[in-house]
Amino acid sequence: MTLQRDDYTAASRDAWNVSAQHHRDGEDWTKLTDGFARPGFSCLDGVETALMQDLDVVGLDVAQICCNNGRELISVRNMGAARCVGFDQSDAFLEQGRELAALAGQDVEFVCSDVYKIGPEFDGAFDLVLITIGVFGWMPDLKTFMELPARLLKPGGRLVIHEEHPIINMFDPEHERPFEPVLDYFRPEPLKEQGAIVYDGTPNETEATHWWFFHTLSDVMTAALAAGLALERFDEHPNNISGV
Ligand SMILES: C[S@@+](CC[C@H](N)C(=O)[O-])C[C@H]1O[C@@H](n2cnc3c(N)ncnc32)[C@H](O)[C@@H]1O
C-alpha cells in the first residue's frame, strides 16, 4: 500500500503524542518549568535571540508553525510580542505548552491541527511567522506546507526559519562511525523510524512508527519562493541545534 500525506501526518501525530511523557520525564522539562516560573525567561539561543531583537518583536503578532511545547513562542512573548499563536497537531505537547504559558503568566493561544488542514481563519493575521528546529523533516509535502506561512502573514510580514542544516540528514548518530556521511543527501524516499521521539536519540521500547523526509536546501528555498515569499536574508551557523 502506498502511504499518502495523511498517513504520514497521522503517524507523526501519534508518535509525538506517545513521546510527550518521555519529554515530561526528562531534565529539559524541569529546566523549562523552573525557567518559565521566572519573569522574562527565554529558551532561545544566541542566534535566535539576536534575530528576534533585530526584528524588534515588541508588539508584533507572532505565529509559530509546529510549536511543540511552545517553549520558543512563550520566550518570544516574554520578549514583548503581542498576540502569539502556536500551531501543532500533538495535543499532548500543546497541553505542556499551556502549562508552560500558565507558569510564565503569559497569554499564548495553542491551536491543535495538522498544518495541512489549517483553515483561512488565521490568514493575514501575523507580522511574524516562525518555523524552528526540526520541522521540515516531518513534512511529506514541503511545497504545500510553505503555502501556510505565506497565507498567515500580513502584507509585509516576515517568515523566520531557524532550522537544522539538511546536511545533518547524511549522518546517523547510532552508526558506529557517527561522523561519517552514510545517507544520501538527495534521498527521495523517507526514512522509517521506530520508537518514541527523544532528542538525545536514546533507544526506547515505545511503539511508534514515523517517517523523516529529506529536503535539500534548494527544496526549501524553491518551496518558499513558489509560495510567493521573497528571500531577504540567509545565514549559516556553526552550532548544532539538533539536540543530538
Ligand atoms: C521537533 S518538534 C519542534 C520543536 C520545536 N521547534 C522546539 O525546539 O521546541 C516538531 C513538531 O512538529 C509537529 N508536527 C509534525 N507534523 C505536523 C503536522 N502535519 N501538523 C502539525 N504539527 C506537526 C510535531 O507534533 C512536533 O511537535
Q: Which residues contact 32 (CB under 8 A, 6 or more apart)?
A: 43, 69, 71, 100
pLDDT at 242: 81
pLDDT at 205: 78
Ligand 1 pocket member 9 (CB < 6 A): yes
Got the DSSP string for 39-89?
TT-----HHHHHHHHHHT-TT--EEEES-TT-HHHHHHHHTT-SSEEEEES
Render pLDDT for 160-178 as a digit per residue (tens, 0 to 9). 999 999 999 999 888 899 8
Flag whether 78 is in a domain: yes
Nearest-atom number in ligand 1 for the CA of 199 is 1
Ligand 1: distance of its center to the CA of 189 in Å?
20
Residue 192 carries which side chain, given as an amino acid letter?
K
Q: Treating both helix axes as pointing N-terminal to C-terminal, what angle do 217-226 and 142-152 enclose, rounded to 10 degrees?
A: 50
Flag whether 242 is in a domain: no
State percent of the chain over pLDDT 70: 98
Look at strands 84-88 and 62-65 and give their pairing: parallel
Flag whether 134 is in a domain: yes
pTM over 0.75: yes
pLDDT at 201: 66
Flag whether 156 is in a domain: yes
Residue 8 carries which side chain, given as an amino acid letter?
Y
* Domain total in the chain: 1
Flag whether 213 is in a domain: yes
The boundaries of the domain holding residue 170 are 5-29+52-226
CATH at 95: 3.40.50.150
Nearest-atom number in ligand 1 for the CA of 9 is 19
Question: ∠189-194-197 over CA atoms, to 5°?
Answer: 105
Flag whether 125 is in a domain: yes
| Residues forming a β-bridge with 63 | 85, 129
Q: Whose CA is nearest to atom 10 of ligand 1?
A: 135
Ligand 1 pocket member 110 (CB < 6 A): no
Residue 72 has pLDDT above 80, yes or no: yes
Ligand 1 pocket member 197 (CB < 6 A): no
Flag whether 92 is in a domain: yes
Residue 244 has pLDDT above 70, yes or no: no
Is 154 in a helix, a strand, or coil? Answer: strand
Nearest-atom number in ligand 1 for the CA of 145 is 19
Ligand 1: distance of its center to the CA of 59 in Å?
25
Ligand 1 pocket member 92 (CB < 6 A): no
Flag whether 244 is in a domain: no
Cell of 241: 541545534
* pLDDT band (50, 70, 90) for residue 203: low
Render pLDDT for 105-147 as a digit per residue (tens, 0 to 9). 999 999 999 999 999 999 999 999 999 999 999 999 999 999 9
Q: Whose CA is nearest to atom 11 of ligand 1?
A: 66
Report d(CA 138, CA 88) in Å as an integer: 12
pLDDT at 129: 98
Contact (Cβ atoms closer than 8 angstroms) between residue 114 and residue 90: no
Ligand 1 pocket member 96 (CB < 6 A): no
Q: Which residues contact 29 (CB under 8 A, 6 or more apart)?
A: 23, 96
Ligand 1: distance of its center to the CA of 135 in Å?
6
